[in-house]
Structure 1
Amino acid sequence: MSVSIGSQIVAKFGPKADEPNVIKKCEELIDLFGLTPEELFLKWETYVVTSSTVDEDIQLTVENLIHLQEYIQKKIIKESQKTPSSSHAKRSVVRATPNVSMSSVLPSTPMSSTHKRRKLETPQSRNSEDAAFFSARGSSPPFATSSDHESTPSHNVQNQKSGCILETLNGDIISEDKTAVEGASQPNKLRLVANFDPTKYKFRTMNQKLLEVADYLDDQIDRTAQIVLDHYKFDQNEFGNPNIQSQTEILTIGRIVPDSPTSEFDADLNAHSIFLESSRSGGIGQRVRLNLNELKDYSFFPGQIVCLRGINPTGDLFKVIQRYEIPYLGAPVSTLDDLHSYEDQLHGQNMKIIVTAGPYTPNGKLSFDLLSEFVDRMNQEVKPITIIMFGPFLDVTHSQIKEGTLSFPDLEKEPKTLDQVFKYVIAPILKRLTCHQVILIPSTRDATTDHAAYPQEMFDRKAMGLTKNFKCFPNPATFSLNEALIGCSNNDVFRDLKDVTGGNNLSESRFNRVSEHVLEQRRYYPVFPGGIKRKRSSILSSDDPHNRDQLIVSGADLHVPYMGLTEFADSLPDVLIIPSELKHFAKVVKNVVVINPGHFVRMNSNGTYAVMTVKTPNLKDFDKVDENIYLNNIWKRARVDIVRT
């Protein structure tokens, strides 16, 4: 070790480290774990904070440095059990692992991760010849604009009868009569591939540690900075600290935050209270106010990671001159052999998938009659191959569940727990479904799960009394049905993402903006802090009859250290499904089919569900990327109907 390292150790730890034995031990730890003196000091501080008591003051001694070594080793072992090993990741950040098969239940993915990635540009043309041209050059096929593919209201919109179509996306691709199952030969079960590791969701909730939260949020900014640097080929010397006064333009990357909120009510942004929070390496984690006067078009929301060019002439205000878009991930692809296999599997028929989202009972009464009628319609009329069902199935906010007034007189044996209510009441209805696959995704409001935080562990299929054709996936989940890569998240980002917009973004549909934010940020739920849902109680909090207590019903319920599990893996999905309490819709955004199926039951009336029909594979509908590799182009081949329950 050089003398300079020893002096750096003393500079970081202070005069108490200026002892030969202490310096020698610090040098050993630096060599052993590949750390810098500053990183070793940060780990020492973490160890002191987590290990000491109020009355205890841990001194910098050789003995305590040995304890620090044991602490770091335990931390490394613990993190290696939770996360895939990475030569550059030293923080306790958990991310999703793509293309993981669910042992013996699901096959491994056929798609190569190298083919899923593509360099993205945004040409204006949308035809197939242009797509092939850009793919051959290693660029992206053009993005479809949202105005090209909007869901259109049906002429039956005034008809409120069950089964009527309210809106249709891409109605010209597949006619309504062709969405029905035809012919005597039924399609085989779709190939289901899980792009997640279910073991990573088995963490304890209500166990967040402040340092782990800080590590994830910091790592999020630093990883995005590297993505932007690689994509735009910026000179690294252009990046600087936005908090420091300077007369020179700099590049900076950080998180959009409100002005030091003291409560959740202060967390909403406005054009005059937008701050940028830097990472520890980019600006010591400080915040600086943003001046957006020179930006023509913008849309910012709390938690958004942005790359900005600007100047801070006074030290108090960062004047934004330009915003750089975070590069989008590539599109999923399939091999020629797989496409031929899927075509044979479907016997020339279209692939029909149903999407529903809870609650499944009216607010006033815990009755599953509408769900039972839905099951009969699926079996007798619609006949889908796969059904994707989002919770809540038993909503903890339902009045009868909260009050404990459940009654099931028709059952021979009265359920004693809510788990038994699902097993004896809901499971028999669901098991009547005759389709090949039913995928269940939980909600944080489900009473039948102990894991009420996002990201959320999957249901226990056996405990719920369900058969093997039911697949229980976590929340969120990414999986493939044949060639279609589907991303599902049961956390209402359309309700919670409240952005500040300017320029042309003011006239754009809010659903389009939110969808683009999700795809650009590469996260199913990019909002931070998460939204909180409240309702007014009937209890007066003062003499004023309009002043009633606000009760927290639910919300995003984020478990931040594990939010890496909510990030996209190595490509955009073909289909993005995010249920919301807002109006149902189906759109094409950045060549991704985005669906909000709406609630199955709205208050005490019938709600909606979505029917997605994908044309059977035909090579003329695909764009060739490489030898025997084709873009899936689900957005060109799928029709989506929003249907009344």
Structure 2
Amino acid sequence: MVRREALKEQFSLLGVNNVSEEVIDKCAEICISNGIDEEELVEVWMAFSVSHLRGADPTLDTLVQMERREFSKKQELQPQPQKQSTRSQENSLVIYLGKESTEPDDGDDILDAYSSTPKAKNRDGKKDEHTPDAGPGRGRSPRAIFSPASFSPTAATPSSKYRARTNKGDAVCVYGEKCETDWHPQNSHFQPLVQLASSHMQANTCFMFNQMRDMAQVLNETVHHVGQMILKKFALQEPQAINQPHQNQFVGVGRVCCDSNGRLNAKSLILESFSGKTVPMDVSQVESFSLFPGQVIAVEGENPLGSKLSAKQIYTDTSLPLPQRPSLSSEENGPIQIVVAAGPFTQSDTLTYQPLEDLVEYIQEHSPHLVILIGPFIDATHPHVIEGILAETFQAFFERIVDGIMQPLETLNTQVLMIPSWRDAHHHAVYPVLPFVLRKQYAKLILAPDPCVVDIHGLVIGATSTDILLHLGKEEIFQVQLSLDRLGRIAGHILSQQSFYPLYPPAEEMNLDLELWANYAVLEVTPHILILPSDLRCFVKNLNGCVIVNPERLAKGLVGGNFARLEVSCAKGDVNVNAQIVKI
């Protein structure tokens, strides 16, 4: 017997509310005449509605159309199968797939739009809508492009907050003199040569096989190398033992440490020399300083008893010179257009990757020369990933994401540089991060490690996915009288310490391979452009000729985030950068 309350409950489960009594009566009639229960009827209706009516609610006319199209076809083509019991269906394992919202042929069985074991179900009940402003002819559902197979419909449910945004395309940060840039390349046929640094990390590099003595040697060599550069730059005298008594003022070199497992403060400062000797350090007489654990410094001070170093002056800057002038000429090929976006690429309540799809559409429209995508692509901290609702491997899902990015760009001259993150669920959770490995090859895709340095006809760009700005901001102690803002001061530590990640010990959630860090996370020159994605406020700043860009994240919580677009021109060897950070 068909129950009206059961029909309303099944519609409600799929998000269809306020169904009229006439519609319920018609549904009950269809169930009786075709020998099906309430659950199967509502499933067939949802499949029919999504494929033919774009998710419209049921009416008497549309129910008649569905009955004529679906049940009459079943009766003609095959005998009525024995119905599976409701209890058996409830105990079956259902897999939800995001499919394209294209119109099927007349001969297609409407239930082929789903995949399940033993039968597909769609529990989200949402309209298969496109992201706002999706161009005609390219309106594929976000679920069809990037969504994974999952055991829950919530993974493929588009975010309503993202669709309701009103600030799409707004520039939240502008840098450079030429603010009227239209952000279309003057020469879209020009394809610059993008090369990774010759010493970049390979995909087959071994990692996390560090012995204690090797790790200690790496730290000591870093203190010695950076310390010697500080002494040379500021013409300081030869350093002396920091833990020995000195009657006169002397120079000491060492690494900043904390005397406990807590946060660094002025009372817990310790200086450790390259020989491993340590001494407490008093900075109360230093007028200006900015210190963090792992920082290599030179100190002028006194230590009359050998038990405490009283600092008078602290030196930290070992910034390297800029590279040679680029051979790239904007007079011949025009400026280079670059788009930069950092993950996460989907909101925290869904895996539809709507911001990433909008970014791909932006790239199709503007055809930049280079797109830099920085992980995480499948964020290991995403709630759906933690819950384990994906019904496919992380690697298979990631390869579909890459394919969804590269296929629409096949006809463009745009090159894509993809940088991994230690937060990628399908990749190695270690820093530095090895480059991705894909089974399918793409001609215009460059797989880089993290961190990485790329060379574009002499234009040097450095990038890392790790939120070093946030990590340094949590650990830094400072007493600054200069006018430099906090974000600029923190970013300056990367240049002054010649390292993409100068903090040691690293953040608790990170796995740092010290030997790889010493080989692949150091700066050999000051890059023209340095990309440092962070959860901190976005900015574009010029520090001693290096343009530092923090585009934030493409997705931030339940809403969309930002991406950066840069126009780089080179005239007579001088590099000029115009940049905007834009809401997705």
Common topology (TM > 0.5): yes
Give distance in 2, aligned partners of 1:233 and 1:574.
27
Q: How does 1:394-413 map to 2 (within 5 A)?
A: 394-406=378-390
Aligned to 1:448: 426
Structure-to-structure mapping, 1:572-587, within 5 angstroms: 572-587=526-541
> 2:237·2:251 contact (CA, 8 Å) conserved in 1?
no
- Measure the CA separation in 1 of the matches of 2:304 and 2:441: 64
**1:198/1:233 CA distance change after superposition, 3 Å:** closer
Unaligned runs of 5+ in 2: 1-164
Equivalence map 1:469-618=2 (5 Å): 469-497=444-472, 498-505=475-482, 508-532=484-508, 555-615=509-569, 617-618=570-571
Distance in 2, matches of 1:275 and 1:567, equals 25
1:638 is matched with which residue?
577
Tell whether 2:229 aligns with 1:275.
Answer: no
Amino acid at match of 1:518: I
1:164 counterpart = 2:170: yes
Alignment check: 8 A CA contact 1:352 1:384 kept = yes
Distance 1:571 1:198, change over 3 A: closer
**Counterpart residue number, 2:352:** 367
- The answer as to whether partners of 2:541 and 2:548 remain within 8 angstroms in 1 is yes
CA apart distance, 1:296: 0.7
- Amino acid across the alignment from 2:446: K
The equivalent of 1:305 in structure 2 is 296
Within 1, Cα distance between the matches of 2:551 and 2:273?
37
Q: Contact (CA 8 Å) 1:307, 1:326: kept in 2 or not?
A: no
Equivalent pair of 1:431/1:467 in contact (CA under 8 Å): no
SS in 1 for 2:232: helix
State the AA in 1 paired with 2:467: D
Q: 1:230 aligns with which of 207, 232, 240?
A: 232
Tell me by how many angstroms 1:596 deviates.
0.8
- Determine if contact 2:202/2:435 at 8 Å carries over to the other structure: no
Q: Which residue of 2 aligns with 1:545?
A: none
* Residues in 2 aligned to 1:468 and 1:305: alpha-carbon distance in whole angstroms: 42
Q: CA deviation at 1:404?
A: 2.1
The Cα offsets for residues 597-625 of structure 1, whole Å up to 9 and x where unpaired, read as: 1111001101000001112x322xxxxxx
Where do 1:25-36 residues align within 5 Å? none
Match of 1:174 among 173, 178, 182: 178
Q: Contact between 2:371 and 2:415, CA under 8 Å: does it hold in 1? A: yes
Structure 1, unmatched stretches of 5+, are: 1-158, 408-415, 533-554, 620-629
Whether the 8 Å CA contact 1:250–1:309 is kept in 2: the answer is yes
The 1:425–1:571 alpha-carbon spacing in structure 2 relative to 1, beyond 3 Å, is: closer
How does 1:40-439 map onto structure 2 within 5 Å?
160-170=166-176, 173-182=177-186, 185-199=187-201, 202-236=204-238, 239-259=239-259, 261=260, 263=261, 266=262, 268-280=263-275, 285-334=276-325, 338-340=327-329, 343-344=331-332, 346=333, 349-380=334-365, 382-406=366-390, 416-433=392-409, 434-439=412-417
Is the CA contact (8 Å cut-off) linking 2:394 and 2:425 kept in structure 1?
A: yes
What is the deviation of 1:466?
4.6
Structure 1 residues 429, 516: CA separation in 2 closer, same or farther (over 3 Å shift)? closer
SS across alignment from 1:432: helix
Query: Offset of 1:161 from its aligned partner?
Result: 2.5
User: Whole-Å Cα distance in 2 between the matches of residues 566 and 249 of structure 1?
Assistant: 37
Q: In the TM superposition, what is the alpha-carbon distance from 1:351 to its structure 2 partner? A: 1.1
2:408 is paired with a residue whose SS is coil
Q: Is the 8 A contact 2:227 2:296 kept in 1?
A: no
**One-letter amino acid matched to 1:241:** A
Worse overlay, 208-217 or 370-379: 370-379
CA contact (8 A) 2:292 2:477 kept: yes
CA distance in 2, matches of 1:466, 1:514: 38
CA contact (8 A) 1:196 1:478 kept: no
User: In structure 2, how many angstroms separate the alpha carbons of the residues matched to 1:177 and 1:199?
Assistant: 36
Q: Are the aligned partners of 1:201 and 1:455 in contact in 2 as well (CA < 8 Å)?
A: no
The answer to whether the 8 A contact 2:300-2:313 is kept is: yes
Task: State the identity %.
Answer: 25
1:245 maps to a residue whose letter is P
CA distance in 2, matches of 1:608, 1:396: 21
Segment of structure 1 superposing worse, 203-212 or 304-313: 203-212
Shift in Å at residue 370 of structure 1? 2.5
CA contact (8 A) 1:516 1:589 kept: yes
Once the two structures are TM-superposed, the CA of residue 242 in structure 1 deviates from its matched residue by: 1.2
Deviations 1:386-418 (A, max 9, x none): 1000011111222222222136xxxxxxxx311
**Pair 1:167–1:454, CA change in 2 (3 A):** same
Whole-Å Cα distance in 2 between the matches of residues 452 and 310 of structure 1? 41
* TM-score between both structures, scaled by the size of structure 1: 0.62
For the residue of structure 1 that corresponds to 2:525, the secondary structure is coil
Distance 1:198 1:333, change over 3 A: closer
Q: What secondary structure, in the 3-state scheme, does the structure 2 residue paired with 1:214 have?
A: helix
Distance 1:249 1:444, change over 3 A: same
Partner residue in 2 for 1:627: none
Q: Secondary structure at the match of 2:515?
A: helix
Greater Rg over alpha carbons, structure:
2
- 2:406 touches 2:442 (CA, 8 Å); kept in 1? no
Cα distance between partner residues in 2 of 1:179 and 1:472: 25
Letter in 2 for 1:510: R
TM-score (structure 2 length as normaliser): 0.68
Residues 427 and 466 in structure 1, CA contact (< 8 A), matched pair in contact too: no
Closer, same or farther in 2 for the Cα pair 1:198/1:640, shift >3 Å?
same
1:146 — aligned with what? none
Measure the CA separation in 2 of the matches of 1:363 and 1:592.
33
Q: Deviations over 1:128-170 (max 9, x none)?
A: xxxxxxxxxxxxxxxxxxxxxxxxxxxxxxx942222111011
| Alignment partners' CA distance in 1, 2:255 and 2:217 | 14
Measured at CA, do residues 228 and 374 of structure 1 come closer, stay the same or move farther in structure 2, by a change above 3 Å? closer
Post-superposition Cα deviations, 1:336-382, rounded to whole Å, max 9, x if no partner, equal xx344x642x2xx32110000001111111112331222112212x2
| AA aligned opposite 1:472 | L
Report the Cα distance in structure 1 between the residues aligned to 2:316 and 2:386, rounded to whole angstroms.
46
Counterpart secondary structure, 2:454: strand
Aligned residues: 416
Q: 434, 440, 450: which one pairs with 1:457? A: 434
